[in-house]
Amino acid sequence: VRPGVPIYLAALGPKMIELAGETADGVLLNWASPDYLRQARDHIRRGAEKAGRNPEDIDVACYLRTAVVDDLERVKPELRGQIARYFRMPYYRDYFRQMGFEEETAAVSQALARSDTATAAAAISDEMQSELGIFGTAEECRQRIEHLRSLGLRQPVIAPFMVGDDANESFRATIGAFSG
Protein backbone atom coordinates (compact mmCIF):
# COMPACT_ATOMS: atom_id res chain seq x y z
CA VAL A 1 0.00 0.00 0.00
CA ARG A 2 1.33 3.41 -0.94
CA PRO A 3 2.00 5.74 1.99
CA GLY A 4 -0.72 8.30 2.50
CA VAL A 5 -3.52 6.24 0.96
CA PRO A 6 -6.33 6.23 3.54
CA ILE A 7 -7.56 2.81 4.58
CA TYR A 8 -11.29 2.44 5.24
CA LEU A 9 -12.68 -0.67 6.89
CA ALA A 10 -16.14 -1.70 5.66
CA ALA A 11 -18.14 -2.61 8.74
CA LEU A 12 -21.66 -3.37 9.91
CA GLY A 13 -21.38 -4.67 13.44
CA PRO A 14 -20.09 -3.01 16.60
CA LYS A 15 -16.88 -5.07 16.80
CA MET A 16 -15.83 -4.26 13.24
CA ILE A 17 -16.65 -0.58 13.72
CA GLU A 18 -14.59 -0.59 16.91
CA LEU A 19 -11.74 -2.26 15.00
CA ALA A 20 -11.94 0.55 12.43
CA GLY A 21 -11.52 3.03 15.28
CA GLU A 22 -8.48 1.09 16.45
CA THR A 23 -6.72 0.51 13.16
CA ALA A 24 -8.12 2.35 10.13
CA ASP A 25 -8.31 5.86 8.76
CA GLY A 26 -12.05 5.49 8.39
CA VAL A 27 -15.04 3.20 8.43
CA LEU A 28 -17.40 2.56 5.52
CA LEU A 29 -20.96 1.86 6.64
CA ASN A 30 -23.99 0.76 4.66
CA TRP A 31 -27.70 1.41 5.23
CA ALA A 32 -27.02 3.49 8.36
CA SER A 33 -29.95 5.19 10.07
CA PRO A 34 -29.37 8.35 12.11
CA ASP A 35 -29.52 6.32 15.35
CA TYR A 36 -27.08 3.75 14.02
CA LEU A 37 -24.71 6.51 12.94
CA ARG A 38 -24.70 7.83 16.52
CA GLN A 39 -23.96 4.33 17.81
CA ALA A 40 -21.17 3.90 15.26
CA ARG A 41 -19.48 7.06 16.55
CA ASP A 42 -19.49 5.52 20.05
CA HIS A 43 -17.91 2.28 18.77
CA ILE A 44 -15.29 4.25 16.85
CA ARG A 45 -14.49 6.21 20.00
CA ARG A 46 -14.03 3.01 22.03
CA GLY A 47 -11.70 1.52 19.44
CA ALA A 48 -9.70 4.69 19.00
CA GLU A 49 -9.26 5.12 22.75
CA LYS A 50 -8.04 1.51 23.08
CA ALA A 51 -5.32 2.30 20.56
CA GLY A 52 -4.50 5.73 21.99
CA ARG A 53 -5.93 7.48 18.93
CA ASN A 54 -8.11 10.55 18.63
CA PRO A 55 -11.62 9.39 17.59
CA GLU A 56 -12.08 12.62 15.63
CA ASP A 57 -9.30 11.49 13.30
CA ILE A 58 -11.41 8.54 12.11
CA ASP A 59 -13.57 9.31 9.07
CA VAL A 60 -17.08 7.93 8.78
CA ALA A 61 -18.32 7.17 5.28
CA CYS A 62 -21.62 5.58 4.38
CA TYR A 63 -23.38 4.40 1.25
CA LEU A 64 -26.60 6.40 1.03
CA ARG A 65 -29.30 4.95 -1.24
CA THR A 66 -30.54 8.15 -2.83
CA ALA A 67 -33.22 9.11 -5.34
CA VAL A 68 -34.15 12.67 -6.29
CA VAL A 69 -37.82 12.59 -7.25
CA ASP A 70 -40.90 14.75 -6.96
CA ASP A 71 -43.33 11.84 -6.53
CA LEU A 72 -42.46 9.96 -3.34
CA GLU A 73 -44.90 7.15 -4.12
CA ARG A 74 -42.71 6.17 -7.09
CA VAL A 75 -39.76 5.63 -4.74
CA LYS A 76 -41.36 3.20 -2.31
CA PRO A 77 -41.57 0.03 -4.45
CA GLU A 78 -37.99 0.45 -5.66
CA LEU A 79 -36.49 1.13 -2.24
CA ARG A 80 -38.53 -1.64 -0.62
CA GLY A 81 -37.15 -4.09 -3.17
CA GLN A 82 -33.57 -2.95 -2.60
CA ILE A 83 -33.81 -3.27 1.17
CA ALA A 84 -35.58 -6.65 0.95
CA ARG A 85 -32.79 -8.09 -1.22
CA TYR A 86 -30.26 -7.43 1.54
CA PHE A 87 -32.26 -9.65 3.90
CA ARG A 88 -31.02 -12.66 1.92
CA MET A 89 -27.69 -12.26 3.72
CA PRO A 90 -27.74 -13.39 7.37
CA TYR A 91 -25.44 -10.61 8.57
CA TYR A 92 -27.77 -7.98 7.11
CA ARG A 93 -30.76 -9.65 8.77
CA ASP A 94 -28.89 -9.36 12.08
CA TYR A 95 -27.88 -5.80 11.26
CA PHE A 96 -31.44 -4.66 10.50
CA ARG A 97 -32.72 -6.42 13.64
CA GLN A 98 -30.07 -4.64 15.75
CA MET A 99 -31.22 -1.36 14.24
CA GLY A 100 -34.67 -1.98 15.72
CA PHE A 101 -36.48 -3.39 12.69
CA GLU A 102 -37.52 -6.65 14.38
CA GLU A 103 -41.00 -6.85 12.80
CA GLU A 104 -39.67 -6.20 9.32
CA THR A 105 -36.88 -8.74 9.83
CA ALA A 106 -39.34 -11.46 10.84
CA ALA A 107 -41.82 -10.74 8.04
CA VAL A 108 -39.22 -10.37 5.28
CA SER A 109 -37.33 -13.48 6.40
CA GLN A 110 -40.52 -15.57 6.38
CA ALA A 111 -41.45 -14.33 2.91
CA LEU A 112 -37.98 -14.96 1.51
CA ALA A 113 -37.99 -18.48 2.98
CA ARG A 114 -40.98 -19.09 0.66
CA SER A 115 -39.18 -17.28 -2.22
CA ASP A 116 -41.97 -14.68 -2.11
CA THR A 117 -40.05 -11.54 -3.04
CA ALA A 118 -43.19 -9.42 -3.53
CA THR A 119 -44.39 -10.10 0.03
CA ALA A 120 -40.85 -9.57 1.33
CA ALA A 121 -40.68 -6.14 -0.29
CA ALA A 122 -44.17 -5.23 0.94
CA ALA A 123 -43.05 -6.00 4.52
CA ILE A 124 -40.56 -3.11 4.46
CA SER A 125 -42.27 -0.37 6.46
CA ASP A 126 -42.43 3.30 5.53
CA GLU A 127 -40.44 3.97 8.71
CA MET A 128 -37.65 1.63 7.63
CA GLN A 129 -37.52 3.28 4.21
CA SER A 130 -37.39 6.74 5.76
CA GLU A 131 -34.62 5.71 8.16
CA LEU A 132 -32.44 4.00 5.56
CA GLY A 133 -33.09 5.83 2.30
CA ILE A 134 -32.57 9.38 1.10
CA PHE A 135 -35.36 10.42 -1.25
CA GLY A 136 -37.46 13.42 -2.21
CA THR A 137 -36.69 16.68 -3.92
CA ALA A 138 -33.06 17.70 -4.35
CA GLU A 139 -33.40 20.10 -1.44
CA GLU A 140 -34.99 17.47 0.82
CA CYS A 141 -32.20 15.02 -0.01
CA ARG A 142 -29.51 17.63 0.68
CA GLN A 143 -31.13 18.50 4.03
CA ARG A 144 -31.25 14.84 5.03
CA ILE A 145 -27.59 14.37 4.15
CA GLU A 146 -26.65 17.51 6.09
CA HIS A 147 -28.50 16.08 9.09
CA LEU A 148 -26.42 12.90 8.82
CA ARG A 149 -23.28 15.01 8.52
CA SER A 150 -24.24 16.78 11.75
CA LEU A 151 -24.25 13.33 13.40
CA GLY A 152 -20.68 12.59 12.30
CA LEU A 153 -20.95 11.37 8.70
CA ARG A 154 -17.98 12.90 6.90
CA GLN A 155 -18.04 11.06 3.58
CA PRO A 156 -21.53 10.56 2.19
CA VAL A 157 -21.30 8.09 -0.70
CA ILE A 158 -24.31 8.75 -2.91
CA ALA A 159 -25.59 5.44 -4.27
CA PRO A 160 -28.41 6.33 -6.67
CA PHE A 161 -31.18 3.82 -7.10
CA MET A 162 -33.47 3.57 -10.07
CA VAL A 163 -36.98 4.94 -9.83
CA GLY A 164 -39.25 4.27 -12.76
CA ASP A 165 -38.41 2.59 -16.04
CA ASP A 166 -35.51 4.75 -17.24
CA ALA A 167 -32.30 4.11 -15.27
CA ASN A 168 -30.40 6.76 -17.20
CA GLU A 169 -32.97 9.46 -16.43
CA SER A 170 -33.30 8.39 -12.79
CA PHE A 171 -29.56 8.30 -12.14
CA ARG A 172 -28.98 11.60 -13.95
CA ALA A 173 -31.60 13.33 -11.80
CA THR A 174 -29.94 12.14 -8.60
CA ILE A 175 -26.33 12.64 -9.67
CA GLY A 176 -27.17 16.04 -11.19
CA ALA A 177 -28.63 17.24 -7.90
CA PHE A 178 -25.29 16.71 -6.16
CA SER A 179 -22.71 17.44 -8.85
CA GLY A 180 -21.07 20.75 -9.58
Give one word for 136, left, alpha or beta, with left for phi > 0 and alpha for psi -120 to 50.
left
Q: pLDDT value at position 4?
A: 85
pLDDT band at 2 (very low <50, low <70, confident <90, very high): low
- The chain-wide mean pLDDT, for the chain, equals 95
Look at residue 34 and tell me whether its pLDDT is greater than 60. yes
> Residue 140 is which amino acid?
E
Q: Residue 36: CB partners within 8 Å, gap ≥ 6?
A: 29, 99
| pLDDT tens profile 98-136 | 999 999 999 999 999 999 999 999 999 999 999 999 999
Half-sphere exposure of 117 (CA within 13 A, CB side): 8
- Measure the CA–CA gap between 158 and 26, rounded to whole angstroms: 17
The whole-number average pLDDT for the span 146-171 is 94
CATH topology (fold) of 8-164: TIM Barrel (3.20.20)
Tell me the domain boundaries of the chain: 8-164
Is this model's pTM higher than 0.85 or not? yes
Look at residue 1 and tell me whether its pLDDT is greater than 60. no
Look at residue 50 and tell me whether its pLDDT is greater than 80. yes
Look at residue 77 and tell me whether its pLDDT is greater than 90. yes
Q: pLDDT value at position 180?
A: 67
Q: pLDDT value at position 114?
A: 97
pLDDT band at 3 (very low <50, low <70, confident <90, very high): confident
Q: pLDDT value at position 124?
A: 98
Among 118, 100, 140, 99, smallest CA distance to 108 is for: 118
